[in-house]
Amino acid sequence: MTNLLTTITVLPAIGALVALLSGKRAIRTASVFSLASLALAMRIWFLLDFDGKMSLVERSPWVPTLGIEYHLGVDGLGALMLILSALVTLMAVAASRKVTTNPGLYFALVLLLESGLMGTFTALNFFHWFLYWELSLIPAFFLIKLWGGANRGPAATQFFVYTMVGSVGLLLAFLALFVSTGTMDFEALAQLASLGTLEPMITAHLGPVALWLAVGVLLGFAVKVPLMPFHTWLPNTYAEAPTAITMLLTGAMSKMGVYGILRLALPIFGHQMAQMRGVLLTLAVLTVVAGAWAAVVQKDLKRVFAYSSVNHLGYCLLAIFAVCIPATGDPAVTLSRAAALDGVVLQMFNHGITAAAIFWFLALIQERSGGSLAIDGFGGLRKPAPILAGMMGIALFSSLGLPGLNGFVSEFLIFRGIFPLAWQAATVAVLGLLITAAVILTVIQKVFAGPVAEKWAAFPDMNRAERFGLAPILTLMLMLGLGPQLILSVVNPTVVHWLAGWRF
Amino acid sequence: MDDSPVDLGQMVASCCLPWIVRNLWLIPAIPMVASGLIALLKQPYKRVSQTLAIGAMAFSFLLSLCAFSRVFLSWQAGTQTRYLFNFDWMAMGASSVQIGWLLDPLAAVMLVMVTFVGSLIFIYSTGYMAHDKNATRFFCFLSLFAGGMLGVIIANSLLLLFMCWEIVGLTSYLLIGFWYHKPSAAAAAKKAFLTTRIGDIFFLLGIVWLFAQTGTTLFYNYGAGAIEPAALTTLLGQGAGFGLTAATAIALLIFAGAAGKSGQLPLHVWLPDAMEGPTPVSALIHAATMVAAGVYLVARVYPLMAAGAGPGQTTVALTVVAWIGAATALFGALVAVAQNDIKRILAYSTVSQLGYMMVGLATGGVAVGMFHLITHAFFKALLFLGAGSVIHGCHEEQDIRNMGGLRKAMPLTYATYMVGMLALSGFPLIFSGFWSKDAIVGAAHSWVGSQGPFYMLLTGAVLTAFYMTRQIALVFFGSYRGHGHAHESPLVMTVPLAILAFFAVVLGVLGTPAWPWFTGFIESRPVPFDWAGFSEPGLLPLMAVATVLVFLGLGVGWSLYGAKQRKTAEELDPVEQAVPAVAGFLGNRMYFDELYEATVLRWYAWAAALAGWLDVRVWGGLVAAVALGFRGLGRANKAVDSDWIDGSFDKGCEELVTGGGLLAWMQAGRAPGYLRVLGLGVLVLAGIALVAASVTGQVRL
């Protein structure tokens, strides 16, 4: 099994073909293939070395004259994202069992999307990385466009156009890099950057545009994550997408942006990002605080959690931008940077499973309410549906950052890291924790507490299948909350390895 | 840890640790596991859930006794009384995040108190919640609470303490909102969680700051802990702006967390509302244990609070604690005078007493504050459970104006309530509250900072005696003004009352000036019995003054409410008659809630509206403007490249306007134009970002 990474990328694509042909039984196909992907991702995780370097590397020349090489590899971050993608896909498939219109195409697109995700998280050469990056976009577009809510058309378009605009920035920047250096390999470019020769090379070929290239790259990721003010596509898209697809969007696809910053932007353009640090930090704080605050005024549960997602990923961006400082060799600073980056990677995973779980619960509520998710339309649901209230409560408190559950650890590490590096940003951003708590408790209060409305008196509780589907995810939240070392044992060496190689 | 001597010391110390120290985690873990098991039980399994919860709590109590005796024996033998168990929790860079637990006299007394009072309240709850359909869930939350609280007590790491602290906050939230179908309960639960979280946000900042500066969250680690001398010296040497040292700033941030949990001004607003929860919850969580966690936290980080003070000096942090505590003590007592809900009076009384404890810590040290915490836990739990019994007996009535004459109908409740009331009022000599409160008043008197807190506490003492007299006069004396017939509660409820009453009296023995056992134990030094303790200068006159003030409060209270009993529920209160403006001001809780409504909550709503507006109008508008630019560009394109742009372009533009429908336009096969447009769009957005950047001076253009 030397081609594990190629296999995990191709496997879902094969699954997509099979699903397309299996018609009404497509969900079974999709379940089997996403389960197999998860197993494979776990295998990859356990094969990783604890030295933090790229493992399971596959390289073969492709178009050498254009600097294109088939180059795959994963470190702690990549492998964790593979697990997350597989897990969230599996959850999304399970949450899609009510899809009746053209299930073959639906599940084929879901698996194709997974394939794009796997490719993005393993590719180390811009050429095919970019292909996967775009490949994941197309199935998402059609899933929203064909199975979405009432305003799905404009939402799908908005989603597509925005992400494309961002992608163009990426593309142009990497073309410029290729022109300047003759390579599009991430590791080679990072090497040049850490030697300090990248910027002179760019300047020699194209003039003093390195900063602009960094902006172009960041733009692509800023849209995807998103960073305010490049987020306006997100609420519409999350709200209009079928809820299972929103799980994929927020659980896995939003991580592509953070991943991109960690894998491409920081190692290659770290120096330029350090120059823009003040602006970037300001925008990240804005994302954290305004994202949380905008959630307060939303009337639709999906929109509430869409903004809440913006807020949660804002912490990742905040921490990443905070570590963009010239390396001083001071061990205290290095430790803070490591804490922040450990927190970022952990937060990516934690937010992935928690947000996906919350949207899954929303899907369950939506099925029972006849499609409505208006926040004021419920009340007292805890009485007819105590298990739903209890289980969703766990996911909500995980999102709130309750210690003992997963979200707390990553947020703690992030704040531990950024406080010494950017205490002003940290001090303002903690407001986000408070507002998020207010938002989530308000949701619980309005949906689950109070007298039960007559029309919901017979609101069906979760059935056995739903309980058994979600229980493992909730257990995982608890396990990671108590034993974050499960993930950090692999991620921390990766982070240490990065920090040893970066010179800003 | 690459510091090998420390490592060695740690190894030696941990291999010789007594069994109970190595397994101290069981004390919080057992109730937590019980809670998890109960969570899986369905509603009808009430008995099983009760048995599990009480069994777990009793087991934890036994282990706590073990732990206590371990420390006690070490103290008697004159050896070390602090045992640590630390371990790596997670990797972080080249280092790791360590957490751990500790056993010292402070933790030991708290463990015994919480598990003992907790067990009694659990037993009482089986009676109180007998008719509640959801009692299974109740015991689940109660057990989880106990686990969290015990975790706070044994934590040897600020991080672990914070984690358990938040779990305690969660259970408090769940239990206040236990009757979730009542909108008021749901609102009170949310208010409690959010108000305490305001404090917790500061607390969290304090933790990360301390962690960043000292490299550890452990309190003690054989010299390398965050509140041990080496770390404190570092912290004292660092400035934090405003003339504060880092030590002071961190201490104040941590105190903000403590203030939130312990209902100190101005974060007290949630505690009275928390009375929406079932009464055993009010007794256990909102009187005896959880609200005391803030006091315990201050006691735990006392070396940090007092860092830099020589003998006969105080610190900025302790001065803040003293003044906030004194203000809270006086405030709570004042407001309690004008409340009519039996539980709310007790709630404000709790707020007030927590203020006393804070002053005790700040002016007299750990033992002074903690002794009042322990005695208060017993007599306040007793009062709350007594109030629960009264409410139960009066058919869920909580307004004291609708009670009266209950001493005949509920003799056992009456007798025990009187004990609690006298202990709270500080009735001389026989009751524990006298000794613990007197120690605080004495400490405040001899405090070097200011005499202000001392006088505030004395005023508070008069008021305490007064409002408690008012309460018992209206509840137990006169004639019954309620509906139906009041009845005594079952034995399962009254026996815990009797046990608590017993301790509300005898605990005083442990803290008299002649034999200050408690202080000696906490500070790990021998305590000889010596009557000369009373002859300390100024002590007896102070006691005399305190006694006179207590009698003043009792006397005035009785003359206003006891001697002249109200006949009907509607009659005006004597205080209301005499000074209606003052009574109104106090009755409305000094308008704190209204103040917050008009300020913080309004700002919050405004900020949220602003964020929503920015999103729709500004950020969305920015995008619309860019899209409009695309459209203009498209038109220009048409003029230039009309040979490959077909007639459907205008339709495309329309779609663009209506739905941001760039895609439809693109899909019509105009890829080169599309790329050009996108390329320009990128430049525009990048330009915006760069202009923004250059304005703030962060980028060299």
- pLDDT of residue B350 exceeding 90: yes
The SS3 call for residue B83 is: strand
Best B25, B90, B211 residue to mutate vs chain A (most A CBs within 10 Å): B90
Cα–Cα distance measured from residue A114 to residue A256, given in angstroms and rounded to the nearest whole number: 12
- Scan for tokens 């999350």, then name that residue: A238
Does residue B187 contact residue A457 with C-beta atoms inside 8 Å?
no
- Going by pLDDT thresholds of 50, 70 and 90, the confidence category of residue B672 is very low
Residue A80's region, left for phi above 0, alpha for psi from -120 to 50, else beta, is alpha
Confidence at residue B633, expressed as pLDDT on a 0 to 100 scale: 64
What is B24-62 written as a DSSP string?
A: TTHHHHHHHHHHHHHHHS-TT-HHHHHHHHHHHHHHHHH
Read off the pLDDT of residues A33-85 as tens digits, 9 standing for 90 and up. 999 999 999 999 998 888 888 888 888 887 777 777 888 999 999 999 999 99
Q: List C-alpha distances in Å: A497 to A78, B88, B597, B654.
A: 14, 21, 51, 52
What is B582-615 written as a DSSP string?
A: HHHHHHTGGGHHHHHHHTHHHHHHHHHHHHHHII
Report CA dihedral (A68, A70, A71, A74) to the nearest 10 degrees. Answer: 140
- Check if B201 contacts A (Cβ < 8 Å): yes
Tokens (6 digits) for A433: 């924790």
Q: How many CB atoms lie within 10 A of CB B677?
A: 23
Confidence at residue B646, expressed as pLDDT on a 0 to 100 scale: 40
Strand partners, B157: B218
The SS3 call for residue A327 is: coil
Does residue B627 contact residue B662 with C-beta atoms inside 8 Å?
yes
Closest-CA distance, A207 to chain B, in angstroms, reads 13
More confident residue, A406 or B243: A406
Partners of residue A211 in chain B, C-beta under 8 Å: 690, 699
- Check if B689 contacts A (Cβ < 8 Å): yes
Instruction: Please state whether beta strands B83-92 and B95-103 pair in parallel, antiparallel, or not at all (unpaired).
Output: antiparallel
Confidence at residue B58, expressed as pLDDT on a 0 to 100 scale: 94
Partners of residue A485 in chain B, C-beta under 8 Å: 88-91
Which stretches does DSSP call E strand in B104-215?
none
Omega within 30 of 0 (cis) for the link into A139 = no
Read off the pLDDT of residues A114-138 as tens digits, 9 standing for 90 and up. 999 999 999 998 888 888 888 888 8
Cα–Cα distance measured from residue B620 to residue B610, given in angstroms and rounded to the nearest whole number: 14
Q: Of B123, B110, B135, B152, which Cα lies nearest the Cα of B44?
A: B135
H helices of A48-185, in order, are 76-94, 103-122, 126-147, 152-181
Over residues B275-280, the mean pLDDT reads 88
Best A441, A474, A494 residue to mutate vs chain B (most B CBs within 10 Å): A441
- Going by pLDDT thresholds of 50, 70 and 90, the confidence category of residue B665 is very low
Contacts of A112 (CB under 8 A, 6+ apart): A12, A13, A16, A135, A138, A139
The SS3 call for residue A491 is: helix
Does residue B194 contact residue B330 with C-beta atoms inside 8 Å?
no
Cα–Cα distance measured from residue B211 to residue B229, given in angstroms and rounded to the nearest whole number: 15
Contacts of B66 (CB under 8 A, 6+ apart): B20
* Secondary structure in 3-state letters for A163-231: HHHHHHHHHHHHHHHHHHHCCCEHHHHHHHHHHCCHHHHHHHHHCCCHHHHHHHHHHHHHHHCCCCCCC
Strand partners, A485: none
Q: Of A410, A426, A394, A157, which Cα lies nearest the Cα of A284?
A: A426
Q: Which of residues 20-49 of B touch A (CB under 8 A)?
A: 39
**CB atoms A496 and B94 under 8 Å:** yes
Confidence at residue A104, expressed as pLDDT on a 0 to 100 scale: 83
Read off the pLDDT of residues B79-101 as tens digits, 9 standing for 90 and up. 888 899 999 999 998 889 999 99
Cα–Cα distance measured from residue B245 to residue B260, given in angstroms and rounded to the nearest whole number: 23
Cα–Cα distance measured from residue B113 to residue B379, given in angstroms and rounded to the nearest whole number: 12
SS3 content of chain B, % helix, strand, coil (to 5): 70, 5, 25
- Going by pLDDT thresholds of 50, 70 and 90, the confidence category of residue B628 is confident
Q: Of A237, A40, A197, A10, which Cα lies nearest the Cα of A115?
A: A10
- Scan for tokens 């394939």, then name that residue: A115
**CB atoms B93 and A427 under 8 Å:** no
Q: Which of residues 372-411 of A touch B (CB under 8 A)?
A: 380, 382-383, 390, 397, 402-404, 408-409
Cα–Cα distance measured from residue B26 to residue B32, given in angstroms and rounded to the nearest whole number: 9
Cα–Cα distance measured from residue B541 to residue B532, given in angstroms and rounded to the nearest whole number: 15
**CB atoms B662 and A339 under 8 Å:** no
Closest-CA distance, A67 to chain B, in angstroms, reads 23
Confidence at residue B639, expressed as pLDDT on a 0 to 100 scale: 55
Cα–Cα distance measured from residue A151 to residue B444, given in angstroms and rounded to the nearest whole number: 68
**CB atoms B212 and A336 under 8 Å:** yes
**CB atoms B700 and A275 under 8 Å:** yes
Partners of residue A403 in chain B, C-beta under 8 Å: 162-167
Omega within 30 of 0 (cis) for the link into B303 = no
Contacts of A50 (CB under 8 A, 6+ apart): A489, A490, A493
- Check if A160 contacts B (Cβ < 8 Å): yes
Cα–Cα distance measured from residue B622 to residue B639, given in angstroms and rounded to the nearest whole number: 26
Over residues B669-676, the mean pLDDT reads 44
Confidence at residue B421, expressed as pLDDT on a 0 to 100 scale: 92
Cα–Cα distance measured from residue B619 to residue B634, given in angstroms and rounded to the nearest whole number: 23
Does residue B396 contact residue B332 with C-beta atoms inside 8 Å?
no
- Scan for tokens 């702690």, then name that residue: A76
Residue type, B191: K
Confidence at residue B322, expressed as pLDDT on a 0 to 100 scale: 94
Determine whether B528 is exposed, middle or buried from the number of CB atoms within 10 Å of its CB (0-12, 13-18, 19+): exposed
- pLDDT of residue B692 exceeding 70: no
Partners of residue B690 in chain A, C-beta under 8 Å: 211-212, 215
Confidence at residue B680, expressed as pLDDT on a 0 to 100 scale: 55
Cα–Cα distance measured from residue B386 to residue B389, given in angstroms and rounded to the nearest whole number: 5
Confidence at residue B697, expressed as pLDDT on a 0 to 100 scale: 43
Residue B243's region, left for phi above 0, alpha for psi from -120 to 50, else beta, is left
Does residue B368 contact residue B439 with C-beta atoms inside 8 Å?
yes
Does residue A407 contact residue A351 with C-beta atoms inside 8 Å?
yes
Does residue B149 contact residue B106 with C-beta atoms inside 8 Å?
no
Q: Highest mean pLDDT: which of A179-183, B235-239, B553-557?
A: B553-557
Q: Which of residues 234-263 of A touch B (CB under 8 A)?
A: 235
Residue type, B363: T
Compute chain B's Rg from CA coordinates.
31
Confidence at residue A458, expressed as pLDDT on a 0 to 100 scale: 86
Cα–Cα distance measured from residue A32 to residue A29, given in angstroms and rounded to the nearest whole number: 5
Closest-CA distance, B197 to chain A, in angstroms, reads 7
Cα–Cα distance measured from residue A32 to residue B84, given in angstroms and rounded to the nearest whole number: 50
- Check if A342 contacts B (Cβ < 8 Å): yes
Confidence at residue B319, expressed as pLDDT on a 0 to 100 scale: 93
Strand partners, A59: A71
Q: How many residues does chain B have?
A: 701
- pLDDT of residue B558 exceeding 80: yes
More confident residue, B335 or B308: B335
Instruction: Tell me the count of A-B CB pairs closer than 8 A.
Output: 222
Closest-CA distance, A205 to chain B, in angstroms, reads 18
Strand partners, A154: none
Cα–Cα distance measured from residue A11 to residue A82, given in angstroms and rounded to the nearest whole number: 13
Q: Of B172, B190, B63, which Cα lies nearest the Cα of A438?
A: B190
The SS3 call for residue B529 is: coil
- Going by pLDDT thresholds of 50, 70 and 90, the confidence category of residue B657 is very low
- pLDDT of residue B7 exceeding 60: no
Read off the pLDDT of residues A407-437 as tens digits, 9 standing for 90 and up. 999 999 999 999 999 899 999 999 999 999 9
Q: What is the ipTM of this complex?
A: 0.91
- pLDDT of residue B675 exceeding 60: no
Confidence at residue B159, expressed as pLDDT on a 0 to 100 scale: 94
Read off the pLDDT of residues B448-491 as tens digits, 9 standing for 90 and up. 888 899 999 999 999 999 999 999 988 888 888 877 787 888 88
Residue B572's region, left for phi above 0, alpha for psi from -120 to 50, else beta, is beta
